[in-house]
Amino acid sequence: MKTIVILCGVGEVGKTKTLKEFFGVSHVRKLRRDQLLERGLNGKKIYAVRLSSPQEQEDFCEIDDVKDNIKKRIQKCEQASKGQQYTLIIPFGLYGTTTGKLNEDCILKPIEWLRSQGFRVYIIYLRKKTARELKLLDSFMKGLTSNVIQSTKEYDRQAKELENFIRTI
């Protein structure tokens, strides 16, 4: 079965830098727009396509556009893996609106859709203790996952925790 790991966090929490560390490209200042990153881990292929979240690249909470963005990432992984098993890591942004509401549907609906497509989906909350509306974020994420990585700008540690999680799935 193919697996998706979703790395959720607010803006400036370190999703991109953590993934750059994980894939060993932290020295690269700017990656190509649709660059496929690949890493082997315990005989598994681990991929990422783009290091920004689909929600950042599309209009706020345009769920169909977010799904299309994810489909393109999956297609790239399917080509690279030649249909073999793989794990795709996708960063997801947790953002609010000016009304103070969280973009819950923009997180939940793509996750539901991925599961309906036959993917095993795991969620990791990259938690920033200084984030605005932390109680709201923590409450929402507690309902989705117990997998939490504390973001402290120690990207090598965060990448190691991500690696340890992926080893267990």
**∠ CA(147), CA(169), CA(34), 5° rounding?**
85
- State whether residue 11 is helix, strand or coil: coil
What's the mean pLDDT in 63-90? Answer: 95
Q: What is the pLDDT of residue 92?
A: 94
Domains identified in the chain, total number: 1
Which tens digit of pLDDT belongs to each residue from 142-157? 999 999 999 999 999 9
Each residue's pLDDT tens digit, 15-67: 999 999 999 999 998 888 889 999 999 999 999 998 988 887 766 678 999 99
Length of the chain: 169
Query: In this predicted model, what pLDDT tens digit does every residue of 94-133 receive, in sequence order?
Result: 876 556 678 788 899 999 999 999 999 999 999 999 988 8
CATH code (residue 26): 3.40.50
What's the confidence (pLDDT) of residue 101? 72
Domain that holds residue 52: 3-168
Distance CA 50, CA 54 (A): 9
Residue 102 pLDDT: 80
DSSP 3-state assignment of 93?
strand
pLDDT value at residue 131: 87
Q: How confident is the model at residue 86 (pLDDT cuts 50, 70, 90)?
A: very high
User: N- to C-terminal Cα distance for the chain?
Assistant: 11
| Encoded tokens for 22 | 């994980």
How many Å apart are CA 126 and CA 13, to the nearest integer?
7
